[in-house]
Structure 1
Amino acid sequence: MLYALKIAIRYLTANKAQTALLVTGVAVGVFIFIFMSALIGGLAEFILSRTVGDISHITIEAEDRDPAVLIEAVPGVRAVSPQITGAGFLTRGAQVSQVSVTGVEPGRESAILDLDGYIVEGTARLGSGLIVLGRDLADDLALSLGQTVRLQSSGGATALLTLSGIFETGNGAMDGARAFVSLPVARTLFAMPQGVTRIEIKLDDLNAADATTLRIRSLTGLDAVPWTDGAEQLMEALNAQAQTGYFLKTFALITIVIGVASALMLSTYRRRPEIGIMRAMGAGRNFVVFVFVTQGALIGLLGGILGAALE
């Protein structure tokens, strides 16, 4: 077999231009294959990060108790955010805007939504008497940092709050109608001395939402809902994208194989006299086949290494 390898290498070096062309063709094909894999995989990750990255991976609607400590002990849970949510009205002078109020624990402002990362003015830190608003909402009310605004809940309770931060997510619905306050402020506004209305959970792996939801349900007895519920269209789109990626990568791989095989068949056809000489000297059919298969393998190996290096 060592002698067959030497013959295969000699065939490769006998026509350097043809060998270089074959190796380059394989390298380009491998480069395209790797590039397409990275592109399709990266696109899927980007879509998931933009659609699911800033939302709760698992949501629990709860009113009577706060099982956050139990949930934090579940493997795979990155962060837990107990919240009190409700509707309200922001008033500054004669200007009034309807808002969706979210009360979060101080220190957990960015547990689910990366509020720190979206802050464009001030700080995301919440405390007693502070409020954080979206850019569009602040502009509608002509508010700037340090100014006072009146927040009234749907139940009629009011609080005077100081604007401590302005965020901008690029989502018009959120930037124009979301207000964040501390959990104690929300308890006062919505008359909830204990418990929470919602618990949002962020996972290390969002694809493990279904399995983690089952663990949380069995642990707390509460109706936990994964982000995949109601996201059928997104999942179908991602699956369709993955299937398209498999098709394109398979097509690229087949093209590479056909190109190399065609070139080797032509090379084999041209070397019929040499094959006849080898057979006359006692070389078996398997030996001849091994020579040309080794030649193709070397071309594939060199092309693959070169194509991977181009990445």
Structure 2
Amino acid sequence: MLYVLKFALRYLASSKLQTGLLVLGVAIGVFVFVFISALIGGLGSYLVDRTVGDIAHVTLEAPKRDATLISGEPNGSAVVFQKATAQREVLRTGDIFLPLIEEMEGVKAASPQIVGNGFVIRGQSRAPVYVTGVEPGKVSAIADIRGKLVSGSDRLTNSSILIGASLASDLGVGVGQIITLQSDRDVERSLMIAGIFSLGVETLDARSAFVSIAAARSLFDLDQGISRIEIKLNDLNSAELFADRIAAATGLEATPWTENNAQLLDGLRAQANSGDLIKAFSLITIVIGVASALLLSTYRRRPEIGIMRAFGASRMFVVSVFVFQGMLVGLIGGVLGAGAGYLVMSPFPVPEEAASGGFPIDVRQGDYLLAIVLTVIGAIIASILPARAAAKVDPVEVIGQ
């Protein structure tokens, strides 16, 4: 094995320019591989963070009461329970389940909420709004209201409100001013604007308002219970498994964020498939390059191979020399390409810190080890054809030329 390695190194060192170009080609292919991995992975993380970052990963609600058969009559008629159109689903056992949920592994935050529709009134202006009642200390538990404030603060009291920037602009109001909030139960309250936020989503910034959960109770005429519990997880990718687990433990309806974002997931899968295709082409390029260079080396070294065979070198020895050449080229080029990729991509901020419209490259998702391993395997496979050609050299024929 030592002699095989020596011959492989000797062959590579004897044609420094060819070997250098071959290693450079492999390194470029690996660089493309890790760059595409980091770019596709980073772009996926960026899109998910921007889309899912300010919404609940799992939402718990009371089981929906659909039309059900209560009793049947002998004459074939039936009595069916049908939910009234104005009936509001209420989770009356939320306070019981909340401590259990907050202690579950993987839960980052849990926020009980009362939600409903209404209108914000300022003078002659009237704008529809979706109202969310939250506990004052959990305003930013799900959506990062505190980090997205344009002005004011996120401190809520029973007489204050937080509204979106677009809504504030449409009404021409600012922090400290009084507005009237009318719920869909025709209950009105005068509230002071404590803060104005901008989540970066126009529909949210133009139609969202947050009040204290106590204020929401009076607005929506709800003496007890809540509308839902929103849960934020440490790992948003585990939302479906967590939703199944919490639904089994509580008997409530648990909806993961993936259920309402199927189009986003389809787009991410298509994006990942495109990246895999590009990476496959880069590996194919590496294999073709290594195979071509080693085939050329085989034909150039036919006399040397013939002499080795005449002195008793076995076909397996000759095959091993060329396979080792391919392996060394793949290993050296793979390490250089992966290292260059890491150095080039390191200055870029990770997706969570990337500015809007920036270049969301995630250096952590470069697949460096995978790139090196696949490159070495590809180079070994590429060397098999030249190695077999070298092993078939007839020493009598070659030496006699």
TM-score, normalised on structure 1? 0.96
| Partner AA of 2:318 in structure 1 | V
Q: Does 1:120 align with 2:120?
A: no
Provide the C-alpha distance between the structure 2 equivalents of 1:198 and 1:305, rounded to a whole number of angstroms.
Answer: 52
Provide the C-alpha distance between the structure 2 equivalents of 1:226 and 1:169, rounded to a whole number of angstroms.
Answer: 21
Alignment partner, residue 281 of structure 1:
311
Alignment partner, residue 38 of structure 2:
38
Higher RCO (Cα < 8 Å, 6 or more apart): 1
Provide the C-alpha distance between the structure 2 equivalents of 1:2 and 1:139, rounded to a whole number of angstroms.
Answer: 77
Q: Deviations over 1:267-301 (max 9, x none)?
A: 01110000001011111111111111111111111
Question: Per-residue deviation at 1:61?
Answer: 2.1
| Partner AA of 2:26 in structure 1 | V
Q: Does 1:160 align with 2:176?
A: no
Alignment partner, residue 14 of structure 1:
14
| Residue from 206, 210, 214 that aligns with 1:180 | 210
Alignment partner, residue 305 of structure 1:
335
Of all paired residues, the percent bearing the same amino acid is 56
| Residue from 194, 197, 200 that aligns with 2:230 | 200
- The secondary structure found in structure 2 opposite 1:136 is helix
Alignment partner, residue 93 of structure 2:
65
| Partner AA of 1:197 in structure 2 | S
Matches within 5 A, 1:141-290: 141-290=171-320
- The secondary structure found in structure 2 opposite 1:228 is helix
Provide the C-alpha distance between the structure 2 equivalents of 1:39 and 1:166, rounded to a whole number of angstroms.
Answer: 34
Q: Does 1:23 align with 2:23?
A: yes
Asked whether the equivalents of residues 70 and 220 of structure 1 are also in contact (C-alpha less than 8 Å), the reply is no
Q: Deviations over 1:36-94 (max 9, x none)?
A: 11111111112211222211111122421212222222222211111101111212222
Question: Per-residue deviation at 1:203?
Answer: 1.4
Provide the C-alpha distance between the structure 2 equivalents of 1:307 and 1:289, rounded to a whole number of angstroms.
Answer: 27
Q: Does 1:2 align with 2:2?
A: yes
Provide the C-alpha distance between the structure 2 equivalents of 1:188 and 1:58, rounded to a whole number of angstroms.
Answer: 27
Q: Which moved more, 1:58-67 or 1:140-149?
A: 58-67
Provide the C-alpha distance between the structure 1 equivalents of 2:259 and 2:8, rounded to a whole number of angstroms.
Answer: 58
Q: How many residues align?
A: 311
Provide the C-alpha distance between the structure 1 equivalents of 2:3 and 2:125, rounded to a whole number of angstroms.
Answer: 90
Question: Per-residue deviation at 1:262?
Answer: 0.9
Provide the C-alpha distance between the structure 2 equivalents of 1:234 and 1:26, rounded to a whole number of angstroms.
Answer: 35
| Partner AA of 2:296 in structure 1 | L
- The secondary structure found in structure 1 opposite 2:327 is helix
| Residue from 99, 106, 117 that aligns with 1:87 | 117
| Partner AA of 1:93 in structure 2 | G
| Partner AA of 2:337 in structure 1 | G
Provide the C-alpha distance between the structure 2 equivalents of 1:135 and 1:196, rounded to a whole number of angstroms.
Answer: 27
Q: Deviations over 1:157-182 (max 9, x none)?
A: 22221111111122111111111111
**In angstroms, what is the RMSD of aligned CA positions?**
1.3
Q: Deviations over 1:139-194 (max 9, x none)?
A: 11111111111112111222221111111122111111111111111111112122
| Residue from 129, 135, 138 that aligns with 2:159 | 129
Provide the C-alpha distance between the structure 2 equivalents of 1:296 and 1:169, rounded to a whole number of angstroms.
Answer: 53
Question: Per-residue deviation at 1:233?
Answer: 2.5
| Partner AA of 1:65 in structure 2 | T
- The secondary structure found in structure 2 opposite 1:176 is helix
Provide the C-alpha distance between the structure 2 equivalents of 1:241 and 1:25, rounded to a whole number of angstroms.
Answer: 26
| Partner AA of 2:37 in structure 1 | S
Provide the C-alpha distance between the structure 2 equivalents of 1:132 and 1:37, rounded to a whole number of angstroms.
Answer: 40
Q: Does 1:98 align with 2:128?
A: yes
Asked whether the equivalents of residues 74 and 215 of structure 1 are also in contact (C-alpha less than 8 Å), the reply is no
Asked whether the equivalents of residues 112 and 202 of structure 1 are also in contact (C-alpha less than 8 Å), the reply is yes
| Partner AA of 1:275 in structure 2 | I
| Partner AA of 1:236 in structure 2 | D
Q: Which moved more, 1:65-74 or 1:254-263?
A: 65-74
Give the ranges of 4+ consecutive aligned residues of structure 1 lying more than 6 Å apart after TM superposition: none
- The secondary structure found in structure 1 opposite 2:126 is strand
TM-score, normalised on structure 2? 0.75
